[in-house]
Structure 1
Amino acid sequence: MSCEKIFLIAGEASGDQHAADLVRNLKLLNQDLRVYAVGGEGLKRAGARIIVRSSELSVVGAVEVLHHIRPILKAYRRVVNWLESERPSLLILVDFPEFNLLIAKKAKALGIPVFYFISPQIWAWRQGRVRKIKRLVDRMAVILPFEKDFYRNYGIDVEFVGHPLLDSVKPRMSREEFFNKFSIPGSARLVCLLPGSRSGEIRRHLNLFLKTAGKISRQHPDCSFCLPLAPGLSGDIERFINKGVRDFTKSSKLEVYLVRDSAHDAMAASDLVIAASGTVTLEAAILRVPMIVTYRLAPLTYFAGRLLVRVKWVSLVNLIAGRQVVPEILQDKAIPENLCDQALRLLEDHEARTAMIRQLDEIVGLLGKPGAAHRAASLVQSMLMQTHADKA
């Protein structure tokens, strides 16, 4: 299988990280494997050749997609042209269902096997897509404990491999070292602000999070605030963040420490995380840091979502627990006053903090064992070997 080619699509920052781990494990099994991808810096560092940058595709919601339709269509055409000309041995999809299932349909028509690593959250909404997945996807590796039964009930070939965050969420420095590196006052309580990884999320949440920080600070002047920069941000969105933080600091006299390449250290060093709902909530859970989860969507997207969503909670932490462990403050209720009230409760109430940390520990125990990317890579390798056996 020398110089075998596969194509991988990871359309978002979190998916890029998991896909990069998968590629590194695949290359341990097959050193001659050539990986081409839609992805970001993580995949590039892992040795994949980037055909389309994931930053061109990372949007959320129907309204937002309409505003970005031209780059999405351009990326679709580039990927399809590549598949038609190169005919890889396998297509690997990572989450990102709207784009990925379109590509899967084309791959199926070309006779290219399809492996899905990290399930789209169709169990939450638009469950009808599961029939499309059964038709287009040959095998799945899922990372949430309840997903295996969901897909197996539809007759899909699926394995639970554990959650890849168990391997990657590891602080590299102590709280004291983190405070020293970013010149944060050593006696301060620290609140970590995580407004999202996509440009639309950041534009919707940044001002909300900064205003919340201002309100918390008025009640607790000893609090400091940090804001980790998500990997793979475009230059435009980094400038948006820098300007927003700079203007806020100028008007409020409250410094918010921007943190690059140390998000897990920032969370681990913090007394509280305020996060836009997403994978980052599981990262905070693995680090056992109390958190508040919030989210805002474009009004039309939110209205449509309320008609379609079939789950009671939006955060992965609460979904895995099957109950509310962390507070969720959503859409019209996502205002600085409400976020501040919950933040003060978790900063001041020792029993509430301890209870949440204990429940987070239970949730992490449900995520499986480390080694998810290795187990997924073994499934990919077995698919490649089966493909060659079928052609022989």
Structure 2
Amino acid sequence: MKYYIIAGETSGDLHGANLIKALKERDPEATFDIVGGSQMEAASGQKALIHTSEMAFMGFVEVVMNLSKIAKNLKAVKADILRAQPDTVILIDFPGFNLKIADFAKKKNIKTCYYISPKIWAWNQKRVYKIKQVVDHMFCILPFEVKFYKEFHYSVDYVGNPLLDAISAYEFNPNFISDNNLSEKEDIIALLPGSRKMEIERILPEMAELYHKFPSHQVVVAGAPNFDESYYRDIIGDLPIKIVFDQTYDLLKNSVAAVVTSGTATLETAILRVPQVVVYKANPITIAIARKLIKVQFISLVNLINNYLSVYELIQKDCNATRIADEIGELITNPAHRASVMENYDVLAEKLGEPGASGRTAEKIVTYLQEATN
């Protein structure tokens, strides 16, 4: 089978890479065309038509500012799909872009599979009607999504969460501390400022102030692969904060607590059982619009899945160095608070279930395609 897989951001690149590996196991004749990042390139052996670093724009204002670039990317991907003539287009999250591609592919009679549902349950729920029209098979990774779609009479496949696959397959580095010239004597506070430029530049300066507020700890930044060290140094200035790249899981595994920008990383941090505070800060206009449209109580996946406040969230004006330091201090020094977070992680683990999402999704995609051709 010929697969055309599209991921528009770093987390989608990770899941796309694992899906490619699983498809290869189940379909030895598989060939791939990709829009994604370095991990999908490595898994498929193909260069991405467009790299994720040229795709991810987060927020209403930010999207408007980049409309011409988004339109150019859409045009390029549509043309490439016509060239490739795949058996299916597999879309990974990234709904603003991927739902347009799904519509295009459907009109060209190309099967569409959507892996990792758009978060339409959070806002703009009417998009479910569009999904029913243009997506042949939806594969969901959050337990409550099945019920949501059922309310709209749309049958989906629940496959479990692919982060469990990524973490269970990861080979942790026992020499992480020494390899990165970190101190064996000081506990680490991990800073995960996100992978998007607009997030990092708003949030990292607040995070970096923990260097002054916790002088007996090491503050270490998890760098995104689409940026280099000089980019982060320009933001944090002269502070002697370590930055590590492509080692986020190792960093978390060796940390006593973490400050995490809202997104997939909050769930990764929870699965790795690191107490965290979730933060987010964006353009004020973006936030104002979001607060009018978004229909969920929380922003972090941990809280959304558990359906109660399991980890603290500091958003917009609350996302400041003082509030962040207060919560990190509680996580480090208050045993009862720390234990409460860990109990919440136990609840989360039970809801997420077992690894195997990538394999289950690949199996279903191959089966669906074979049934369609028979």
The alignment's TM-score, normalised by the length of structure 2, stands at 0.96
Q: Look up the match of 1:270.
A: 255
Q: Look up the match of 2:19.
A: 22
Find the aligned partners of 1:25 and 1:76 in 2 and give their Cα distance: 27
Q: Look up the match of 1:252.
A: none
| Residue aligned with 2:222, SS | strand
Q: Look up the match of 1:328.
A: 313
Equivalent pair of 2:201/2:235 in contact (CA under 8 Å): no
2:369 equivalent to 1:375 = no
2:69 equivalent to 1:102 = no
Q: Look up the match of 1:294.
A: 279
Find the aligned partners of 1:109 and 1:368 in 2 and give their Cα distance: 37
* TM-superposition CA deviations, 1:341-389 (whole Å, max 9, x none): 1111111101111121121122022112111000000111012112212
Q: Give the letter for the 1:240 counterpart.
A: Y
| Residue aligned with 1:162, SS | coil
Find the aligned partners of 1:376 and 1:172 in 2 and give their Cα distance: 23
Equivalent pair of 2:33/2:84 in contact (CA under 8 Å): no
Q: Which of 308, 311, 316 pairs up with 2:293?
A: 308
Q: Look up the match of 1:257.
A: 242
Q: Which of 219, 232, 253 pairs up with 1:225?
A: 219
Equivalent pair of 1:196/1:202 in contact (CA under 8 Å): yes
Percent identical: 35
Q: Which of 72, 75, 78 pairs up with 1:74?
A: 72
| Residue aligned with 1:326, SS | coil
Find the aligned partners of 1:10 and 1:362 in 2 and give their Cα distance: 30
Post-superposition shift, 1:244?
2.3
Q: Give the letter for the 1:92 counterpart.
A: I
* TM-superposition CA deviations, 1:32-88 (whole Å, max 9, x none): 211111101011001153211121111101111122222211111111112223321
Gap regions ≥5 residues in structure 2? none
Q: CA RMSD in A?
A: 1.5
Q: Which of 316, 340, 348 pairs up with 1:355?
A: 340
Find the aligned partners of 2:98 and 2:171 in 1 and give their Cα distance: 34
Q: Give the letter for the 1:357 counterpart.
A: M
Post-superposition shift, 1:109?
0.7
Equivalent pair of 2:91/2:115 in contact (CA under 8 Å): yes
Gap regions ≥5 residues in structure 1? 250-254
4+ runs of 1 displaced by more than 4 Å?
none
Post-superposition shift, 1:157?
2.8
The alignment's TM-score, normalised by the length of structure 1, stands at 0.92
Q: Give the letter for the 1:208 counterpart.
A: E
Find the aligned partners of 2:280 and 2:340 in 1 and give their Cα distance: 24
2:30 equivalent to 1:33 = yes
Find the aligned partners of 1:86 and 1:284 in 2 and give their Cα distance: 38
| Residue aligned with 1:157, SS | coil
Post-superposition shift, 1:215?
4.1
Q: Which of 233, 236, 259 pairs up with 1:242?
A: 233
Equivalent pair of 1:34/1:48 in contact (CA under 8 Å): no
Q: Give the letter for the 1:224 counterpart.
A: Q
| Residue aligned with 2:175, SS | helix
Find the aligned partners of 1:239 and 1:5 in 2 and give their Cα distance: 40
Find the aligned partners of 1:20 and 1:363 in 2 and give their Cα distance: 25
Find the aligned partners of 2:53 and 2:184 in 1 and give their Cα distance: 36
Q: How does 1:127-142 map to 2 (within 5 A)?
A: 127-142=125-140
